[in-house]
A and B are shown apart, each in its own frame.
Chain A
Amino acid sequence: MQTRVPQAKVERTIKPAPSRYRNEVAKYIIKRNSDCIRCGKCVELCPYGVHVDKPGYKYFAEPKLHLCVGPECEKTDHYCVAKCPKQALSLMENPMMEVMGDYRWTADMILATWKMAETGDVPPREYGYQYETGNTGGGFDKIRIKFPDKPPVKVKEDEVDTSIELNRRNDGRPKIKIDVPWYGGGMSFGSVSNVTQLSKARACVAWNTFTCTGEGGYMERMRPYDDHVITQVATGLFGIREETIQRVPIVEFKYAQGAKPGLGGHLLGDKNTIAVSKMREAILGISLFSPFPFHSVYSIEDHMKHLDWIKHINRRALLSTKVSTPTDVDMVAIGSCAAGTHIVHLDGGYGGTGAAPDIAKKNIAMPIEYAISKVHEFLEAEGVRDTVTLIASGGIRNASDVAKSIAMGADGVVVGTCELIALGCIRCAKCESGRGCPRGIATTDKELAPQMEIDWGTQRIINLYNAWRKELVQILQKLGMKSVAELRGRTDLLTHDDYSK
């Protein structure tokens, strides 16, 4: 066992982390015409600080449009457009709202996530963000939580426990508890920058949860966060060594990734930079494949053999098995359970990726919404549900999705895309092309990656987690629950817009 380095502490402090761009994208635009006499009424009225009049300047500075709540303000006595003595102001919805986002991550959802990452709080209602659901017309977007008119039990905010156990086996291995029912998904160094990886890791230290290295090596800079890192074993075995397995409390076996099940991992040549090739012990500039499948695993017994190897290499580690969602995902889950895994991690077909063939993204394996209840019920019927932790991922976008997943039967979830959105991702889908992400998140390019700083990135994710936890607590309070564990499998609390009982 190698020497452990002192573990870093990161405070769970919520403080503003405004956008790193000069112009944060806003839902509404306020235009000021030449009739403005710069009387300052608008500055005086606006409680959100949209209008900026800097002393010593001849004109108003650029307004902070992302703070504007838009038409909601019309009902108040501080609506700048109506109160302007010269009618110099006009309000309109930003035409870019039509361009931003997609069916899964709508523009409202992206903007709301940015707001959460900036403030650490649930976006106030007056902003009018429709972020609890996307626009996909199915799955989570059609499932609603049935809240009672009045909570059956009054629960105070600080009484709600959002932690979950990750080891449900009495096998002598550590009983690991995380403070929130989610942890970070695997994103390798190469697919994302070291700043992104470190920001995620530090936020997870602050929130006593985990991040995952993905399959791209284990940076030395990650070692102060070892206690909150999951390292991934996949077929390419990039950067995997005995000592990296020994560093961490959880080791994840990746059999498949939801976005490209059955296809394996793929880092395109342009993203195989000097640092990446060094880390992965590969040749610079060539595409790196982590091919599907493990040819040493053709049965549950083979899978068990792999888990046993890891268990012997690291005697304190928990084992996670990440699988995709084929039609018999329930059989896969029970098999992993029989093989001795601590965590069954289901990755649904609509999950994120750094690069995947378009034909794979939507068309292979089922969405996570179907898989969760299928597996949960099957494990219950087999009488082993309480021996494993069931984790869902692949399209978890907000706290509502977390609550719905748990109510459908998961213990917790894995998140990935939402963290990247918090760091400024706009889902332009260019993670794979050329030098990588133009926003400096999913790239190791020496010009692009430095766009982001670790402290800022850490704070954005800490803030996002805080907002999510707050929202989850509110949901549990409305349901009169003191613990998120009480919500597991409570499908009676869910309803689907397209169904009637």
Chain B
Amino acid sequence: MPEKYHIKTKPIPPRRPRIGKYGIVDWREDCARCHNCVKKACIYDRHRMETEYIRNLNDVDVLFFDCMGCLYCVQNCTKNLLSLSINPTYKKLGNEYWTPDIILTTWNQAETAKIPVSGAGYKGKFSGHGFDSMWTDMSEIVRPTRDGIHGREYISTAVDVGRKASFLSFSERKLTNVNPPLIDMPMPIILDMQAEEYSLPDLNPILQETAKRTGIITIVDSSLYSTVQDQEDLSHIAFHIGSDSKMPPKEIMAKTNLVQIPDSSKVLDKIKEIKKSFPDIIVSVKIPLDSKGSKRAIELASNPEIEVLHVAADLNGNEIGTKNPRFVKDIVREIHTALVDNGTRDEITLITSGGIALAEHLAKIIICGTDLVAINLPLLIALECHLCKSCKPGQHCPAKLESFDFEYGVGRMTNLVAAWHDQLIEVMGAMGMREARRLRGDVGRGMFFEQLEEETFGKLFGTRK
């Protein structure tokens, strides 16, 4: 039996005090000082922990907020002096898209590497913007499933990066095809370069080590080639060669399998130039998903020189620079469908970035048609980042990212990747899918809000306003 893909993890506790959702507000002026104060009976022992925390307080900027919100003390206080409140720091985390809930769950996954599990039912909106307007389908067992139902260990998250031959040629019983280079990735994630808006100290060494430990690839700006620690093993590194950047030296290039170049009018010449010297390197073209992005991607995909396209929406998954931006899932569906119609889909690898904030987004965007995703902000959040955008010299970073332990960074990022991997398997198991490759573009494994509304409520209630 081939070796199973497994990411080694271990719990990496946060460096900063935890930022929980709830806190108890205490109006002490009318306190009866009961000897059996309800705080002593806290089921989670949080009041004692708070006292300990305050006693040893090193950072005055972070108060203790780790209440579980059970209301036990609030509802039992003799004088009704306690009240539950939402932690104001929690409320300030992230932004409209990267909500506090997303940030908190990412922190937890980065700490424990575990799938988030909770009780009670779903608490959110019926549906919503972007990924919240679709559901994945599942395999009810009393009907045929896609691939049958498999134990988790038999579900493969592996995907291929590169161009595939559309047919095989034989001559005198021998294969005459020259198969294009192909990278086998154990899971459909690439670690992207850090976003410009979040200009932090160099995270490259951490990203590189994480990619190595998880067996995936990280994209590194080509100007930083000399900073790569392990100059011998570059299989987990893909250099991004900007329009004005020079290619890394030959001996470095020869050790990589994938490079990325930005889209331009001369992109085909650039590919030829790279291929001329390094025929075994796969070249990915990064296309910003602006108003012309999807059209350009479809156009480029029809060119046999193109092997991999990386389509990038903005950090919130929206089309770039348009008045009524479409969401990345809709754009990817359009590109995927067009490639299927053109008969070239299996020859191109599609990487998508922008707005992939949770493991569920990973599964959903694959259903919409991408082969794999490139992520950056979730990795940053794994390091306890608040996404406050104050990462400029001289400004206070609440996550104290100016300096941190290398193992902490790699461990947290690795844990997050492992948690996403497990969640992808979980949701694929529910869908009856055995391979991530087969999930790509299988919209039959997805249900879309607009479609469901039209099919059910449209029939009953007429036209949607």
- Give the distance in Å from the alpha carbon of A366 to the alpha carbon of B149 in the complex: 20
With A354-B119, A355-B119, A370-B452: A263-B76 Cβ-Cβ less than 8 Å? no
Q: Which residues of A contact B77 (CB under 8 A)?
A: 22-23
Taking the nearest CB of chain A, how far is it from the CB of B14, in angstroms?
18
The stretch of A98-106, A166-174, A273-281 that contacts the partner chain: A98-106
A297 within 8 A of partner (CB): yes
Q: Which residues of B contact A336 (CB under 8 A)?
A: 142
A364 within 8 A of partner (CB): yes
A8 within 8 A of partner (CB): no
Taking the nearest CB of chain B, how far is it from the CB of A351, in angstroms?
5
The stretch of B122-130, B203-211, B285-293, B336-344 that contacts the partner chain: B122-130
With A261-B138, A360-B426, A438-B43: A495-B123 Cβ-Cβ less than 8 Å? no
- Give the distance in Å from the alpha carbon of A167 to the alpha carbon of B214 in the complex: 55
Q: Which residues of A contact B117 (CB under 8 A)?
A: 266, 268, 355-358, 432
Among candidates A21, A24, A256, A394, residue contacting B140 with C-beta atoms closer than 8 Å = A256
Q: Which residues of A contact B122 (CB under 8 A)?
A: 104, 259, 349-350, 361-362
Contact B69 A428 (CB under 8 A): yes
A430 within 8 A of partner (CB): yes
Q: Which residues of B contact A359 (CB under 8 A)?
A: 115-116, 358-360, 363, 423, 426-427
B50 within 8 A of partner (CB): no
With A256-B140, A357-B115: A498-B76 Cβ-Cβ less than 8 Å? no
Among candidates A332, A432, A499, residue contacting B143 with C-beta atoms closer than 8 Å = A332
Contact B457 A430 (CB under 8 A): no
A139 within 8 A of partner (CB): yes
* Chain B, 330-376, CB within 8 A of any chain A CB: 358-360, 363-364
The stretch of B3-11, B82-90, B186-194, B221-229 that contacts the partner chain: B82-90
B60 within 8 A of partner (CB): no
A7 within 8 A of partner (CB): no
A395 within 8 A of partner (CB): yes
In the complex, the chain B residue whose C-beta lies closest to that of A294 is B141
B35 within 8 A of partner (CB): no
Q: Which residues of A contact B79 (CB under 8 A)?
A: 62
- Give the distance in Å from the alpha carbon of A113 to the alpha carbon of B125 in the complex: 20
- Give the distance in Å from the alpha carbon of A354 to the alpha carbon of B22 in the complex: 21
The stretch of B239-247, B308-316, B386-394, B428-436 that contacts the partner chain: B428-436
Taking the nearest CB of chain B, how far is it from the CB of A329, in angstroms?
7
B397 within 8 A of partner (CB): no
Taking the nearest CB of chain B, how far is it from the CB of A349, in angstroms?
7
Among candidates B86, B137, B142, residue contacting A323 with C-beta atoms closer than 8 Å = B142
Q: Which residues of A contact B360 (CB under 8 A)?
A: 359, 362-363
- Give the distance in Å from the alpha carbon of A401 to the alpha carbon of B44 in the complex: 35
Chain A 417-437 near chain B by CB (<8 Å), digits 1 or 0: 100000001111111111101
A217 within 8 A of partner (CB): no
The stretch of A74-82, A120-128, A298-306 that contacts the partner chain: A298-306
With A496-B457, A498-B465: A300-B70 Cβ-Cβ less than 8 Å? no
With A363-B135, A430-B68, A501-B462: A136-B126 Cβ-Cβ less than 8 Å? yes
- Give the distance in Å from the alpha carbon of A469 to the alpha carbon of B459 in the complex: 30
Chain B 428-454 near chain A by CB (<8 Å), digits 1 or 0: 011110000000000010010000100
* Chain B, 269-326, CB within 8 A of any chain A CB: none
A255 within 8 A of partner (CB): yes
Contact A139 B126 (CB under 8 A): yes
- Give the distance in Å from the alpha carbon of A302 to the alpha carbon of B144 in the complex: 12
Taking the nearest CB of chain B, how far is it from the CB of A124, in angstroms?
23
A-B residue pair count with CB separations less than 8 angstroms: 262
Contact B142 A300 (CB under 8 A): yes
B75 within 8 A of partner (CB): yes
In the complex, the chain B residue whose C-beta lies closest to that of A356 is B117
A239 within 8 A of partner (CB): no
Chain B 87-118 near chain A by CB (<8 Å), digits 1 or 0: 00000000000000000010000000001111
Contact A102 B140 (CB under 8 A): no
Chain A interface: which size bin?
35 or more
Taking the nearest CB of chain A, how far is it from the CB of B155, in angstroms?
12
Contact B83 A364 (CB under 8 A): no
Among candidates B118, B127, B139, B456, residue contacting A429 with C-beta atoms closer than 8 Å = B118
Contact B124 A104 (CB under 8 A): yes
With A23-B76, A326-B139: A352-B120 Cβ-Cβ less than 8 Å? yes
Contact B140 A373 (CB under 8 A): no
Q: Which residues of B contact A426 (CB under 8 A)?
A: 69-71
Q: Which of B121, B127, B429, B465 is packed against the most chain A CB atoms within 10 Å?
A: B121
B406 within 8 A of partner (CB): no
Taking the nearest CB of chain B, how far is it from the CB of A214, in angstroms?
14
Chain A 48-67 near chain B by CB (<8 Å), digits 1 or 0: 00000000000000100100
Contact A326 B137 (CB under 8 A): yes
Chain B 60-73 near chain A by CB (<8 Å), digits 1 or 0: 00000000111110
Q: Which residues of B contact A385 (CB under 8 A)?
A: none
B461 within 8 A of partner (CB): yes
- Give the distance in Å from the alpha carbon of A185 to the alpha carbon of B463 in the complex: 35
A224 within 8 A of partner (CB): no
Q: Which residues of B contact A141 (CB under 8 A)?
A: 126
B136 within 8 A of partner (CB): yes
Taking the nearest CB of chain A, how far is it from the CB of B145, in angstroms?
9
With A95-B83, A428-B120, A500-B463: A327-B447 Cβ-Cβ less than 8 Å? yes
Q: Which residues of A contact B138 (CB under 8 A)?
A: 256, 261-262, 324, 326, 364-365
Among candidates A332, A374, A439, A448, residue contacting B142 with C-beta atoms closer than 8 Å = A332
In the complex, the chain A residue whose C-beta lies closest to that of B424 is A359
A388 within 8 A of partner (CB): no
Q: Which residues of B contact A364 (CB under 8 A)?
A: 135-138, 427, 430-431
Q: Which residues of A contact B74 (CB under 8 A)?
A: 23, 25, 96
* Chain A, 291-345, CB within 8 A of any chain B CB: 292-295, 297-300, 302-303, 323-324, 326-329, 331-332, 335-336, 339
Q: A426-B70, A498-B465 are in contact. List 15 more A-B contacts (CB 8 A).
A: A98-B86, A137-B128, A262-B431, A331-B143, A332-B143, A357-B115, A357-B423, A365-B135, A417-B120, A417-B121, A438-B44, A494-B460, A496-B460, A499-B464, A500-B462
Listed by A's residue number, 8 A-B pairs whose Cβ atoms lie within 8 Å are A326-B139, A350-B122, A352-B121, A361-B121, A363-B363, A425-B120, A435-B43, A499-B464
Chain B residues with a Cβ under 8 A of chain A: 22, 43-44, 68-72, 74-80, 83-86, 105, 115-128, 132, 135-143, 149, 358-360, 363-364, 423, 426-427, 429-432, 444, 447, 452, 455-465
Q: What are the 4 tightest A-B residue pairs by CB atom distance, in nearest-first order?
A: A431-B119, A138-B126, A262-B430, A21-B75
